[in-house]
Structure 1
Amino acid sequence: MTDDVQSAFIDIPGVRNFRDAGGVGALRRGVLFRSGSFHTLTPEGALRLKALGLRTVIDLRSRHELDAFPDLRHDLDHEVLHLPTLPAKPEESARPWPEDQVDLYPFMASTAGPSLVAAIRRLGAPGTLSAVVHCAVGKDRTGLTIAVVQSLLGASEADITADYLLSNTGLGLLDGPTPYLDETGAERLSRPVSAELLVSSFAWIHDEHGSVPAYLHAHGATEADLDALRTNLSA
C-alpha cells in the first residue's frame, strides 16, 4: 500500500502537492486528482494537466483567496467550479470561528456540507473527468473533501488516512511547520496534518448525522447522486 500510494505524486510545475486521489477504495486512478492552487502554474505544468485529460477544477478557496491568487490557465479550457468549504466571513457562521488547526477540522465538517454535495454531484456527472480538487495547498479543505469521496467509494479509514497524510510529504512538512504568505501578504505557518485532525472531522459528522451518507443527505444529496459518483469514479 505505501509504495503504491507514494507513486500517486505527479510533477506539475507550478502546482504544489499534486497527486492522484485514486487507488484508495474503489476509486480508480487517473480520474480524480488533488493539489494546491494553480496560481503559479507554469506553461509546462499546463501541458502536463492537458495530458491528464483535465476537464474540471473544483476550487475550495474563499472569494478573497481567488481574488488575491487567481488560478492560471495558460489556454487550458477546463470548467472551474468555485465551491468554498468555509464561510466567507466569521460572522456568517453560527459557530465560533476556529482559532487553530485542531478547531478547524470539526468546524470544516460543520460548514462543508453544501460544498461537498455540489462537488459530489459534479463528479458524478458525465463529461466531468478528469477532475482536480484543490484549495490553497491541498491539505485541509482538499483533505476533507477527498476523504469524504474516498469513503463513499468504500475505502477503509486506514487507507483514507494514509493518503491524507501524504500532504506532509508533498508540502515539505515532515519536519514541522513552514512559513508562507497568506492572501493578505501576512506571513503564517503551514502546519503538518495528523490522523487525529481528520478523525475529528469524521467524528463530528458521525456525532451529528450518524454516517457520511446521512450527512450528505441532510445537505440535499440524494441516493442517486451518491450512486452516480460511485459509478463514475469506480474502478
Structure 2
Amino acid sequence: MTQEFHRAPRIEVPGTFNFRDLGGHRTDDGGAVAFGRLYRADGLGRLGPDGVAMLQEMRIVSVVDLREEKEVANIPDAVDGLGARYSHMPLLGNRYFPLDKDIPDRIVLDAPSLPALYAAMIETAGPRFVDVITHIADIEQDATVFHCSAGKDRTGLVAAFLLSILGVERDAVVDDYALTEEYLGDDFRAALRSHFSSAGISSVSAMATEAKPEWLADVLDRLDREHGGVEGYLVDHGLRDGVTDRLRASLTEARTPTS
C-alpha cells in the first residue's frame, strides 16, 4: 500500500503561484514540523498591497531571496511596508544569472538540464547553503519565507535540506519537492515568460516548471554517498555546532497526546 504523506496546499498569496507552508510533515521522533513558522515560495515581486497584508498576517519577519542579482534587478521583491528583514542570499553566488555575463567564473551548463543544475549547486554552493540554513535557524520567533523565481529548484533544495535536518522521512521530502509541478500551471508560465524576457533570457523551457521526484532523490542519494547525508554535507561546508539543534527546537513540535 502506498504511504500517504502530508501534502501542503498552495497558499493563495496574491501575485504568487507556489507559496506554501513547510509545516505539517511528520518527524522521526513522532512530532511534526510546526505550522506557521517556515514558508517556501516563488518570486515576491508582484505581491501588491493585498499580498503584503497577507504576509503581515502570517507574521513573516524574515524574507530570504535566493535569486541572482540579475533576477533581483529586474523584478525586486515588493515587500515595502511588510516590516520584515530582507536578506538577499544568492544561492548560486551571482554566477548563473550575473549582471555581467562575461564574468570569468560564470556557471555554464554543458548540457542544460535540471539534474546538471542541481549538480552544479551541490558542487559550488555548499557554503551558501550553510549561510541560508544558519540564517533561518537564527529566526526563533514568528515566521520566515525563502524563495527564488519559481520556488522550485533553489527553493526546493533548501526546503529538502531543512526537512531532512528536521527529521522528515526521505520519501516525504521528495514528495514535497515534486508537489511543486502541480502548482506551476499556465498562469505561472505566462508570468515567468514575462520575467525571463525582461531578464534577457530567451525562452521558458521545461526546466522552468518540471520537478521530477527522481531528480531530488538522486541529489539526496549523492549526499548520502559522499557526505553521509544532508547534515554531513552541510557540516563539511562549515555548518557550526548547534545550528541543527536550534532548527529542531524552533521548527518542530511534539505530537499532541490523544485521549
TM-score normalized with structure 2 length: 0.81
Q: Give me the CA root mean square deviation.
A: 2.3
SS in 2 for 1:131: strand
Q: In 2, Cα distance between the equivalents of 1:78 and 1:98? A: 39
Aligned partner of 2:101 in structure 1 is: none
Q: How does 1:165-184 map to 2 (within 5 A)?
A: 165-172=178-185, 180-181=193-194, 182=196, 183-184=199-200
| Larger CA deviation: 73-82 vs 91-100 | 91-100
Q: Based on CA coordinates, which of the two structures has the bigger radius of gyration?
A: 2
1:227 to 222, 231, 245: 245
Please say if 1:72 is aligned against 2:78: yes
Q: Which runs of 5+ in 1 are unaligned?
A: none
Is the CA contact (8 Å cut-off) linking 1:20 and 1:33 kept in structure 2?
A: yes
| Larger CA deviation: 64-73 vs 142-151 | 64-73
| Larger CA deviation: 149-158 vs 187-196 | 187-196
Is the CA contact (8 Å cut-off) linking 2:6 and 2:172 kept in structure 1?
A: no
Aligned partner of 1:11 in structure 2 is: 12
Over residues 102-159 of structure 1, what are the superposed CA-to-partner deviations in whole Å (9 max), with x where a residue is unaligned? 2112222222322221122122224553000100010111000000000001111111
Aligned partner of 1:146 in structure 2 is: 159
Is the CA contact (8 Å cut-off) linking 1:56 and 1:128 kept in structure 2?
A: no
Please say if 1:161 is aligned against 2:174: yes
Q: In 2, Cα distance between the equivalents of 1:3 and 1:68? A: 37
Q: In percent, how many aligned pairs have the same letter?
A: 30
| Residue type at the aligned position of 1:65 | E
Aligned partner of 1:186 in structure 2 is: 202
Q: How does 1:1-235 map to 2 (within 5 A)?
A: 4-6=6-8, 8-24=9-25, 25=27, 26-89=32-95, 91-92=104-105, 99-127=112-140, 129-172=142-185, 180-181=193-194, 182=196, 183-184=199-200, 186-189=202-205, 190-235=208-253
Q: 1:12 to 1:101 in 2, by over 3 A?
A: same
Q: In 2, Cα distance between the equivalents of 1:77 and 1:64? A: 24
Q: 1:61 to 1:192 in 2, by over 3 A?
A: same
Over residues 173-216 of structure 1, what are the superposed CA-to-partner deviations in whole Å (9 max), with x where a residue is unaligned? 8xxx8872412253222231101111122233223322211111
Is the CA contact (8 Å cut-off) linking 1:98 and 1:107 kept in structure 2?
A: no
| Residue type at the aligned position of 2:12 | D
Q: Which runs of 5+ in 2 are unaligned?
A: 97-103, 254-259
Q: In 2, Cα distance between the equivalents of 1:9 and 1:119? A: 23
Q: 1:94 to 1:186 in 2, by over 3 A?
A: closer
Q: 1:92 to 1:128 in 2, by over 3 A?
A: farther
Q: In 1, Cα distance between the equivalents of 2:111 and 2:72? A: 21
For this pair of structures, how many residues does the alignment match? 231
SS in 2 for 1:187: coil
Q: In 2, Cα distance between the equivalents of 1:232 and 1:15? A: 26
Q: In 2, Cα distance between the equivalents of 1:220 and 1:104? A: 22
| Residue type at the aligned position of 2:138 | A
Q: 1:122 to 1:19 in 2, by over 3 A?
A: same
Q: In 1, Cα distance between the equivalents of 2:113 and 2:224? A: 22
Is the CA contact (8 Å cut-off) linking 1:53 and 1:129 kept in structure 2?
A: yes
Runs of 4+ in 1 over 4 A off after TM superposition: 1-4, 93-98
Q: In 2, Cα distance between the equivalents of 1:4 and 1:213? A: 23
TM-score normalized with structure 1 length: 0.89
| Residue type at the aligned position of 1:21 | L
Q: 1:98 to 1:225 in 2, by over 3 A?
A: farther
Q: 1:10 to 1:96 in 2, by over 3 A?
A: closer
